[in-house]
Amino acid sequence: MSTTMTRPRNLPVEPPKKNRGRVRSASAALWDASPLTYLALIITIVLSIFPIVWSFIVASRENSAVTDIPPPLTPGPNFFDNASRVLANTDANFVYGLINSAVVSSCVTLSVVFFSTLAGFAFAKLKFRGKNALLLIIILTMMIPTQVNIIPLYLLMVKFDWTNTLQAVIVPFLVKGFGVFMIRQYAESAISDELIEAARVDGASTWRTYWSVVLPALRPAAAVLGLLTFMETWNDFLWPYVVLNGDTPTVQVSLNILATGYYKTDYVQVFTGTALAIVPLLLVFIAFGRQIIGGIMEGSVKA
């Protein structure tokens, strides 16, 4: 109201307008991507995608193509032949590997998301003694590298008689310090204290509050955590490599069996396996790429 009243009285309307126009075009020059920027990004993306595309190209050819010069850069007709060869390979046990990886990644993801939201909520919104000390411990656990624990963990699996079983790649990874920390950071700002208070006043227990008030509010962060955990578990190599063999492989173990056993004799089969192992995550990425990118960018700002 007041601005519309004063505006007509302001006589020098023209100069500021012009000025603003100049600033805007200057800022457009600063912020609009130039053709050169697009070019640089396109080159980056081509380099990013090329090895993946190339694995599919090699997977669609014959073994005789290995001596081709220049190396093959266009797809051939043999992908499905090669794929059926990989799937029939009893050493690599590839189908079983794919199923196992799906089972393991799903179990770990569900568990990490559940326990992380539970603990993250407690750290963000509940009051209890020793909270800060416990949170510090969780942050410190993020510093322990897997490599350091591998030997005793392996001995533990031997003692439980869990080697070559799926428990061995699920149970030790049911919780993750990173997950608790990430959810806690999100819950701090996403859930208002009044919301918790209101649920309390309505007579909801803490568990009830978590389940029907907090968990729905945490859904975006939980989804990102779930996606990141799923991909990480799917791609995990070292621990499955130590504790599993070809009888109960994850897909990465199958891949390693192919790579070490067949590289010199049937490299096309190795590449077909590689391509097949990438496909499921590629689909996840195409479906949820936006959320994954958002999660990585947000997580880094808060940490």
Partner 1 sequence: MATNVGEVTGPRHGRAPAGPSKQPSRRSVRVGRLDLRLSPYLFVAPFFVLFAVFGAYPLIYTAILSTRKNTLTGGDAGFVGLENYRKILWDEHFWIVIFNTFGLFFVATVPQLIFALLIASWLNKKMRARTAIRMGVLIPNITSVAAVGIVFGLIFADRYGLANWLLQSVHLDPVEWRNHRWSSWTAIAFMVDWRWTGYNALIYLAAMQAIPKELYESASLDGASAARRFWRITVPLIQPTILFTVIISTIGGMQLFTEPLLFNYGRIQGGSLNEFQTVAMYIYETTFTNNYNVGRGAAISWLLFIIILIFALINFALVRRSVKGQTS
Q: Under rule CB under 8 A, which residues in 99-138 are in contact with partner 1?
A: 115, 118-119, 121-123, 126-129, 131, 134, 137-138
Residue in 225, 227, 254, 223 with CA at minimum distance from that of residue 99 = 254
Burial class (CB in 10 A: 0-12, 13-18, 19+), 268: buried
> Based on CB atoms, which residue is closest to partner 1, 13 or 128?
128
> Based on CB atoms, which residue is closest to partner 1, 17 or 159?
159
Burial 73-87 (b: 16+ CB within 10 A, else e): eeeeebbeebbebbe
Q: How far apart are CB 1 and partner 1 at their closest, in Å?
A: 29
200-219 binders of partner 1 (CB under 8 A): 205-207, 210
- Candidate residues 156, 188, 192, 198; the one interacting with partner 1 per rule CB under 8 A: 156
Does residue number 255 form part of the binding site for partner 1 (CB under 8 A)?
yes
Q: How far apart are CB 140 and partner 1 at their closest, in Å?
A: 10
Q: How far apart are CB 215 and partner 1 at their closest, in Å?
A: 12
Stretch that binds partner 1, among 2-10, 84-92, 102-110, 173-181 (CB under 8 A): 173-181
Asked whether the beta carbons of 266 and 62 are under 8 A apart, the reply is no
> What's at 203, amino acid-wise?
G
179-198 binders of partner 1 (CB under 8 A): 180
Asked whether the beta carbons of 65 and 76 are under 8 A apart, the reply is yes
Q: How far apart are CB 186 and partner 1 at their closest, in Å?
A: 15
Stretch that binds partner 1, among 8-16, 76-84, 91-99, 146-154 (CB under 8 A): 146-154
Q: Give residue for tokens 């190209």.
A: 57
- Candidate residues 2, 3, 4, 48; the one interacting with partner 1 per rule CB under 8 A: 48
Does residue number 263 form part of the binding site for partner 1 (CB under 8 A)?
yes
Residue span 223-252 as binding mask against partner 1, x where in contact by CB under 8 A, dash where not: --------x--xx-xx---x--------xx
Neighbouring CB atoms inside 10 A of 296's CB total 11
- Per DSSP, the residues of 193-222 read HHHHHHHHHTT--HHHHIIIIIHHHTHHHH
> What's at 97, amino acid-wise?
G
Stretch that binds partner 1, among 2-10, 39-47, 77-85, 88-96 (CB under 8 A): 39-47
Q: 75: which residues sit within 8 A by CB, 6+ positions away?
A: 56, 57, 60, 61
> Based on CB atoms, which residue is closest to partner 1, 219 or 289?
289
Does residue number 12 form part of the binding site for partner 1 (CB under 8 A)?
no
Q: How far apart are CB 80 and partner 1 at their closest, in Å?
A: 20
**What's the CA angle centered on 279, arms 232 and 55, to 5 degrees?**
105
Tell me the number of residues near partner 1 by CB under 8 A.
Answer: 102
Which residue stretches of 73-145 are H helix?
79-88, 94-125, 131-141
